Structure 1
Amino acid sequence: MHQALNEKILPSDIRLFIAFSGRPVPTAVWSKADANLSLRADIQTTDSFSTLTVEECNRNDAGKYVFTVENNSGSKSITFTVKVLDTPGPPGPITFKDVTRGSITLMWDAPVLDGGSRIHHYIVEKREASRRSWQVVSSKCTRQIFKVTDLAEGVPYYYRVSAENEYGVGEPCELTEPVVATEEPAPPKRLDIVDTTKSSVVLAWLKPDHDGGSRVTGYLLEMKQKGSDSWIEAGQTKQLTFTVEGLVENTEYEFRVKAKNDAGYSEPREAFSSVIIKEPQIEPTADLSEISRQLITCKAGSTFTIDIPISGRPAPKVTWKLEEMRLKETERVTIKTTKDRTTLTVKDSMRGDSGKYYLTLENTAGVKTFTVTVVVIGRPGPVTGPIEISSVSADSCVLTWKEPEDNGGSDITNYIVEKRESGTTAWQLVNSSVKRTQIKVTHLTKYQEYSFRVSSENRFGVSKPLESKTIVADPPSRPEVYSVSATSMAIRWEEPYHDGGSKVIGYWVEKKERNTILWVKENKVPCCECNYKVTGLVEGLEYQFRTYALNAAGVSKASEASRPVVAQNPVGKYLSLAANNNTCFHLYPDSPGPCAGKITVSRVTEEKCTLAWNIPEEDGGAQITHYIVERRETSRLHWVIVEAECQTLSHVVTKLIKNNEYIFRVRAVNKYGPGVPLETEPVIARNAFSECYYLPFCIRICGIFLTDKQFVKQFFFFTFKKTQLSQHHLVLLKK
């Protein structure tokens, strides 16, 4: 169905006819796109056609008429655009400006309905309020603004505007109230003195009873000292209040105000009495009668408000405190203070918002403090972690946690324990009525990785859950290739830093070519040692390796991939030295030997220390490329790499734990791999004099030596460090 266009010239009728068909017989509906159908619209519909008729149409009947048919098979619509040619509608509302003693400027908007034809011009008319006849001011105004002149002074006028197109003059738009061009506004009403200080006064007044036919554009304030005949300007404003500043303290003043419009200023309105400029002294106070027993109780997550009326002269300084902490405005805390009221609002209240709130009011007349107690009750905080996982077996484990630090103002009734399999997002309930802080979780799947979470509950709700860390072991260290041939490579690695609460029972090894993304499992059964020989390699290809740790709970994440290594037989220079006809010496390249001498440990503190070493005496027949620095706690067997590619003969080890005992080792590396490590003696991470205790009074003068220009005092003092007594010699020089 296509759009149809019908044009009707007043005063004809609108008749829209359309035939339709369909099985089953469709339902036919007429509608108007932008408005409701006229009550004069007559619709006749049968099973095969429909007719819409509007008799004696006018401009309001113009628009889009939509005919829609619909049955079980679907629906179709056709739109008729009906254009009624008529005179235009009334222009928009009339406004005026620039009122003078003999003229006024009128403005208006174009008609909403143009009658189907362009507006040629407007007709502007005026009428005295005491007459009924209209006088044409302009019959050919082409703009939507017109200045009416030659008005009689003091005479109120009505104005109206009509639009005209090729079909005639439309309906007029008329001002509802007459306008007097030359009348000044009435004086403002009731000038009051609202407040005073030692150098200013606040004035307020009401609007005039009438504006004189022109909008009041502002107010003029005047003042004079009492006894003077000369009024001086105090200021101008568009508001109904004004603060006069720069006044002389203890001086009596009189004030008045005038309203201003386009015709001029009104008669003045004086204040009822004069005022003496001075600062009143009134001790601050607050009214807490609206807060029952000065106690506010609310539920966590809601908003509570402390609204207190205050008074005092001068206006008191307001300070809010929660216990000993001064409150400032944040995203949750809002403080609003006026001269007669202060309001503290806390959104999304928490348990930590409970306590005594102190309101302090201070001015020159005194200081007063008022107290309001707020109690926030709600669900408890999360349980205290971490969640400890122990006694891990193939199908069970034991979870242990601590009570929450915040019980929400009510006793903890129970704990809720949930579990989740790795790779899924759904949590499964284990037990929702745990009374103790420990539970044994059973019916777990062997080799499946799980996460657990625990929530506490009181009578107000359930806390946020605390989630456990994974119970599988940490990944092993980065594999290191230490032996290479054309078809095989030997790799080694360090055991995981954390075994997940269950002993590591083996390792899986994967390999891949450097330029592929597909990892292939190498061993069919887990290997028990931290080394493995990979065979069946293709000579000339570059390989990488990674490992997984396996414990009773499952398989860890993959370790970091090893550095790419080419499968090839060892290369290097073989040097044969013939000593005689029967003897020769063969030199075979290898990884470096241990570093020469000992590793020096210096500058030991609670957090770091400095290591220094010498180059190896044996470089393995190849240049030393770098050094590997490692550390381990004496209570563990796992070595942690501190610096994998140290290029110098010293290194600062950081991130040590206070009072932990460490062993460090250094390995030299050449192109054939890492060499033999050199270890240090155990070192404790602590400051050099952290356990020294001084005896400040154990000072003995042992001798005084005098010279011409100076004297020398020699002292001895003693310090105790554990059970060892040490003596120090102190020399004081003074000229």
Structure 2
Amino acid sequence: MAIIKVCDRNDTGKYVLTVKNASGVKTVAVDVKVLDAPGPCTDTIKISPVTEEKCTVSWKIPLEDGGDPVTHYIAERRETSRLNWVVAETECKTLSCVITRLIKNNEYIFRVRGVNKYGPGVPLESEPVIARNAYTIPSPPGAPEITAVGKEHAIIEWLKPESDGGSEIKNYLVDKREKKSVRWTRVNKDYTIYDTRLKIASLLEGSNYQFRVAAVNAAGNRQPNEASEHHIHYFKWNYFYFNFSYSIADTPAPPSVPRVTDTTKHSISLAWTRPMYDGGADVAGYILEMLEERTEQWYRAHHLAIIILSHSSTSLQKQCHFLEDCLDLGKLPRKYLKVEEVVKQLLTPGNMTLQLVKASLILES
């Protein structure tokens, strides 16, 4: 009988036993398996993805199980500036685990050891990693511009950030405040904004407002961008009807409910009928808006609103059409023609009548 008093898993293997006496020599091979705690996990520890708060650690099973199957694993972490290890997972049954409660921008080392009935095995350590996001906060979007206003609403637009920080922009935060106030109020508390255009309702007529926008991705958001100009509010549309006599036309009745006439993978075709009442003037065009499911914000499906100015002459029988982007006020000149000046430019000698639909943008400050 041979007794090895001190041994560990490294003594596992094939031994050759040789017996010798006066009659000769006898040799036999013996497989010896030392019962012990597991050896280190195979290969290296992989850490991905890493954020400023958590990371996912994964590994492979040990090559040596110590003569008994591995039942679970222990995962630990240590800041490189400290010596003590902190247990992050005491009984992980799989080959990966999520380690949380990391401190932003701190450097960590992780280690994993298998456990069988003989105890915890030899640990395998990872390379140092820094707890920070693979992406950064996006750059500020462009300063918002007021492109259209109404009695109780305003439409603002802004440019996308130059950089999304490596993560998709998932929301825009829009704030507003009155000129006499120092406190900003969040506009979209209860809904998400994906577009770079927003209609802001419930404004007070005659008040001056300022707006600002911040972009949000998975890393968070920076301070809002440069605010819009303070004094822009408000504009007002005036509607007139001319036949060399001055009268005010009414707004048209609503058209019929749109119906779907055709659909493709990337588009949808709609049709509707004219309003029953045109308000005393020909309908100049239509504005189509759409609402995304499970949201409350309407978006304009097209960018152009059309002003149609037409006149007819008994001698020329001529029609002229003038198209302007009425809603993009940032592109219009700051000085607007009065209605009378528009009329004078359209009139030519002869007996004619003039009809003006959606005329004269008048600035009220």
Shorter-chain TM range is 0.3 to 0.5
Larger Cα-atom Rg: 1
Instruction: Provide the TM-score with structure 2 as the length reference.
Output: 0.35
Instruction: Provide the TM-score with structure 1 as the length reference.
Output: 0.19
Give the structure, 1 or 2, with the largest relative contact order (CA under 8 Å, sep 6 or more).
2
